[in-house]
Chains A and B, each alone.
Chain A
Amino acid sequence: MNFERTWALIERDMRKFFRSPALMMSTMIFPLVQLIVLGYAFGGKIKGAKIAFVDQDRSVESRQIREMFDGIAAGPATFRIVDYDSAPHAIDDLRAGFVRGVVEVPRDFSRRFYQHDRPRIAFSEDNTDQVMASSLLQSLQDMVTAINTAPVQPRLDDQVELNVVEVYPYIEYAKYLLAGSTAMAIFIVAMIGGGITFIDDKSRGLHEGYLLTPIKKTELVMGMIGAGAVKGLMAGMAIVLIGGMIVGIPGLWNPVRLLYLCLVVLIASVAMISLMFLAMVRVSDPLVPRAVFGVLNMLLFFPSGAISPIEGFPKWLRWMSVVDPFTYTVHALRNLTIKNTGIEGIYSDVLLLSGFSVVMIVSCIALFKRQL
């Protein structure tokens, strides 16, 4: 194999890449926008949800409950309480979407309280929005638990407590999403370099010019994958660094950490560009890569655990995540960005991505046609 020929193709792509700022920007804009918009839109704590409060008991005890709601409204601000006189009116407004839930203290609440006859509060939730409903329910259950707690603790406490230890400081969703956005940037480069540009060059006849030279098909394939990998490395690291600064990843500039990040991004770039190249190796129609872009994005990005845990997927989707190179890219990058692990957190992903790349490259070389 003549590395000068392979390098000539990489050099060609680099010159074109740096000459086209629009192409460079387009590879980075989408992942950054995704990181900022999706990262801050999802995963935040609910604040200021309007809750209708209907006090039909009007007792000291019901006012105590009302005060607890006011406490939450003033503190974590999960709720904003709106008083209603009538339960049916409140329910109508819940259905119309003016309030997110209705808390009703029934007429016999204080009587049952004093008779120790299971006093009840009703919570009507808008379960069309599962995220909001479960968040509000959790807050209300915490509040009810606080009401039920005896003011004086018994001498021997027979209740089991669960003490939670958080290994890492609170991780905002945007930080969690950074790994996925970086993988997305690499994918876009792979799609443009390994798909769209490759087919466009073929249809414009540029490849015919190379096929007329003594270049071997291994050199040609390695040159094209190499060029894509270098571009993927640049775009991926740009997103890691720019995105990392936006979402506030601490210790981002640690040289060892940067080295590991470069390693993961480079291997992931090789894996994705070779996958894309294999998918397009026999394609001639320039419309094909454009048409399959969205489908491939959906098939690779979402099953990878980039935006939500794989453990929450149905079985068939979990299998997709097993064969998806995005999965290992996201896992390794997440370990490096939010868990700050060393090589122990990435070596298995790097090995898997390397093995995947070798299979893809060998298949590309086997299927690439040296003749027209």
Chain B
Amino acid sequence: MVRMDVTNKESPLMNAIEVDHLVKKFGDLTAVNDISFTVAEREIFGLLGPNGAGKTTLIRMMTTLTPPTSGTARIDGHDIRTDANGVRHALGVIPQAFTSDPELTAKENMLIHAKLYGVPSETRISLINQLLESVDLMKFRDALVGTFSGGMRRRLEIARGLVHAPKILFLDEPTTGLDPVSRANVWEMIRNLRDKSGLTILLTTHYMDEADKLCDRIAIVDHGKLAALDTPARLKDSVPGTDAVEAEFDHAPDNWHEQLKGLAEAEAVTQHDNVTHIASSNGSSTVAALMDLARARGVTVRKVSVQSTTLDDVFLHYTGRELRDAAGGSMTYDVSRFYR
């Protein structure tokens, strides 16, 4: 059932990222469990999963911040185990938490990073100005970063991540905590980076819409494992039914689910908490049949809705739970900090 097209066979381009059976264990806990995939050059690749799914640990291994327990990855041909410096030069990384210094100005933050990456002094200032211009922060170049909004700071960090002209950009939950306008700005910036600069971009997110709108391919990660990997369209196609009917009932008989499976156009019926999900090839016909059946059996329909298949349905289909449940219900923490 798991859809797993781990290589981008459609693209004639070279692989920018090759992840090869990566495993990370913290004591008895396996945070990343044998994950493999490849990302082609100029691709926007998304790692989708709830908090605690292992996305950040995976990114940290790929960016040489955390050593893998086993397996390896090659970033622009540089192995994370044997050529960490090559990996660091090839990558621009925007971590989940803000890492720009709030007591320095935007320009100073950029300048210090440019020096750490060994950007030649003769091109440093013009490059920094160019990058700040591109993220619309030129007029704030001499303002302290501590005075920036979350969106401005994220844009600065994206610019800072590009200061050494990397081939690949990693963004760990780039829009978490941002308002809708800032999120839209960041999305546009990411698209522009790929379209205009030809960068390969790998981002992690737990926002379905973000993954859907931005990514060429999505890997669904849950409990440290790769649950599915494909384009958003093909992942949605892989879920039975084109529409999703959600309903809540009172006074339902014991065999109610069995009866629902016989509804017109219904393809699959599942239950999560008190909500019944019906995958249907024609949502409106299924709802009409459902109402008739409920009336005939004396079942009260408390709530019913129809929507086209979303990545939420994809996540539900492949992991057996909704993303919001996975994020909130299990209350998983980034346990890696306890083992540092």
Contact = CB atoms under 8 A, between A and B. Distances in A.
Interface of A: 2, 4-5, 7-9, 11-12, 15-16, 19-20, 204-206, 208-215, 284, 369, 371-372
B63 interface: yes
B112 A8 contact: yes
B1 interface: no
A12 B109 CA distance: 8
8 contacts: A15-B103, A205-B98, A208-B65, A212-B91, A212-B99, A214-B117, A371-B65, A372-B340
B118 A5 contact: yes
A300 to B, nearest CB: 28
A16 B101 contact: yes
Contacts, number: 74
Contact of A208 (B99, B104, B117): B99
A369 B64 CA distance: 12
B3 interface: no
- Sort chain B's interface into a size bin: 20 to 34
Contact of B65 (A8, A12, A20, A372): A372
B228 to A, nearest CB: 29
Q: Is the interface of B mostly helix, strand, loop or mixed?
A: loop
B60 interface: yes
Given A4-B118, A205-B97, 15 more contacts: A16-B104, A19-B103, A20-B103, A205-B99, A208-B65, A211-B65, A212-B91, A212-B95, A213-B113, A213-B116, A214-B85, A284-B340, A371-B64, A371-B66, A372-B336
Given A12-B101, A16-B104, A205-B98, A212 B118 contact: no
Task: Tell me which of A210, A213, A369 has the highest count of chain B C-beta atoms within 10 A of its own C-beta.
Answer: A213
A11 B118 contact: no
A208 B97 contact: yes
Nearest to B161: A212
A11 B114 CA distance: 13
B95 A12 contact: no
Contacts of A12: 101, 104, 108, 112
B93 interface: yes
Nearest to B86: A214
User: DSSP class of A's interface residues: helix, strand, loop or mixed?
Assistant: helix
B204 interface: no
A118 B271 CA distance: 112
Contacts of A214: 85, 88-89, 116-118
Contacts of B85: 214
A28 B65 CA distance: 38
Contact of B116 (A206, A208, A210, A284): A210
A11 B111 CA distance: 10
B100 interface: yes
A283 to B, nearest CB: 11
B340 A212 contact: no
B71 interface: no
Contacts of B88: 212-214
Contact of A209 (B67, B99, B340): B99
Nearest to B163: A213
Contacts of A284: 337, 340
Contacts of A213: 88, 113, 116-117
B115 interface: yes
Contacts of B98: 205
Contacts of A209: 95, 99-100, 113
A211 B65 CA distance: 7
Contacts of B104: 12, 15-16
B95 A205 contact: yes
